[in-house]
Structure formats: C-alpha cells, structure tokens
Amino acid sequence: MLITFEGIDGCGKSSQAKLTADRLREQGFECLLVREPGGTELSEHIRTLLLDAKHHAPLAAEAELLLFAASRAQLVRETIEPALARNAIVICDRFTDSTIAYQGYGRGLPLAYIRSINDLATGGLVPDLTFLIDVPLELAIRRRKGMGDDRMESEGKLFFSHVVQGYMALGQKHPDRIHVIDGTDSMEDIHHTITRLVEYELGNDLRHAHRMLDQPRRAGSVSGLPATGDYHYDFESIAESLTT
C-alpha cells in the first residue's frame, strides 16, 4: 500500500507522515518512510540541485520539472516498487500531486505534459491514499518564519496561492483517494483522523485480498497477489481499532 502526504510548505505534513509510520511500525507492519525529492542516493543529489538556493543560475521551469521527475523515477524503481512487492506499506512525503500543484499550477507548465511525465516516472503507480494537509497560506508562512527558506520556499505569496488552488482542484478531482485534512487542528487530532483512515483502508485492502484468494483460481485472476501468509498486516489490531 502506498500512502502519500501532501500540502504547502509549513503545513505540518512531514511530522504527520512520521507519526503515521511510527504507529504502523508499532503495530507490527513493515513500513517505509521516504521523502520527495530524495529517498535514494541519486535522488538526494537531485534534491540538493533542486532546493539549494545558491547553487546555480535560475533553473528553467522545464528543467525543474524534469529533475523532480528524475528523482521520482529513481525512487520508484529502486525503493518503492521493491517495497510494495514484498507487501510493505510505503509512506511518501510528497509524490505526483506535488508536481501537479507546484510545477503545474505554481509554474504554469501544461498539465497534460506533467501527467505524462508523472506516469513515465512512476510507471503508472498511483497512491492508495493521500492526505492533503490544508492550512491557510498565512499560517504556513508564519510557521516557516526563521527556518531558512530553500529555493522553492523563497517563491512569493502569489506562487503559493496558485499551488493551493492546484491542491484544492486535485482534492475535488480525486475525492476517493485524496483526504483533505484540516491542518489547523491539533497535531493529536490530525494524527487520530489519519490513523483511522489508514486503518480503514488497510481493512478494506485485506478484505479485498481475502475475497480474491477465496475465489476459484482463473488464469490471471490472482496474478501478482501474494500468498495469504505473506501479509505483514496485523489483522487483529486493525480489527480491534476499527471497533473502538
């Protein structure tokens, strides 16, 4: 299962991604937490190129888009795909929605190109669940004050208001996948909401897998599905938390 966290800089998503990963690990799941751009040796080098403000001449928007995509392609092939293949849960701090919001709505690059490039970079991989942490722009800017802005964060308010518009459009377009979470709530409340949604999704995933395994085998019908014993999910604790 792939879970992603999205939102503007300073929304609090990285802390929530970590809390979610910690909780899943406590429950006995194999859970991998990665960030974008980054997450592999090569991708971390690309991250430095992308975010270091004093690195080079102004980066062309197209070059920026392709560097984010290159970082993602490497992360997917080297880390995410192998982890998903062994049924680990992967939590990714930013993924393809960031590119739509920042390079599409923020920079104004054509969305059709961005979708194709995202598809190429991910091999068509789409998150099962996305948490979009929504905070007012002013609050995010206040939270970031004094933290030292990277190249993207140095963009002006207008750029970020377009990014926010992009995220809201994505939330409306994919209501089944993207859960918009009120980022002005307390950290505990946000964590609680996210935990329940993750556990609900894990329950669905398992029920679906068990239904498939109960069906008579038709050629190709369960291809790629792991044997029941291969699941790392702690079904009992999920069932327990769903009833409390």
Q: What is the distance between the alpha carbons of residues 128 and 209, in angstroms, rounded to a whole number? A: 14
CA distance 202 to 177: 13
Contact 70, 78 (CB under 8 A): no
Give the chain's count of helices (H) and strands (E): 10, 5
Q: How far apart are CA 228 and CA 213, in angstroms?
A: 8
Smallest gap from Cβ 25 to ligand TYD, in A, equals: 21
| Shortest distance (Å) from residue 226 CB to ligand TYD | 29
Query: What's the min distance (Å) between Cβ of 53 and ligand TYD?
Result: 11
Asked if residue 14 binds ligand TYD (CB under 6 A), the reply is yes
Given 3, 29, 37, 70, the residue binding ligand TYD (CB under 6 A): 37
Candidate list 153, 174, 203, 206; residue touching ligand TYD; CB under 6 A: 153
**Of residues 60-99, which lie at the interface with ligand TYD (CB under 6 A)?**
68, 93-94, 98-99
Task: Give the nearest distance from C-beta 103 to ligand TYD in angstroms.
Answer: 6
Nearer to ligand TYD, 152 or 202 (CB): 152
Minimum Å distance from CB 90 to ligand TYD? 15
Candidates 132, 136, 201, 197; CA nearest to 171 is 132
User: Which one, 73 or 88, has the nearer CB to ligand TYD?
Assistant: 73
Helix 41-51 to helix 61-75 angle, to the nearest 10 degrees?
160
In the complex, minimum distance from the CB of residue 128 to ligand TYD, in angstroms, rounded to a whole number: 18
Cα maximum dimension of the chain: 61
- The H or E element containing residue 26 is helix 13-26
Nearer to ligand TYD, 28 or 136 (CB): 136
Q: Give the helix ranges, DSSP H, for 104-186.
A: 111-122, 137-144, 157-173
User: Within 13 Å and on the Cβ side, how many CA atoms surround 127?
Assistant: 25
Q: In this chain, which of 76, 117, 140, 152 binds ligand TYD, going by CB under 6 A?
A: 152
Cβ closer to ligand TYD: 49 or 83? 49
**Interface with ligand TYD (CB under 6 A):** 9, 14, 35-37, 51, 68, 93-94, 98-99, 102-103, 152-153
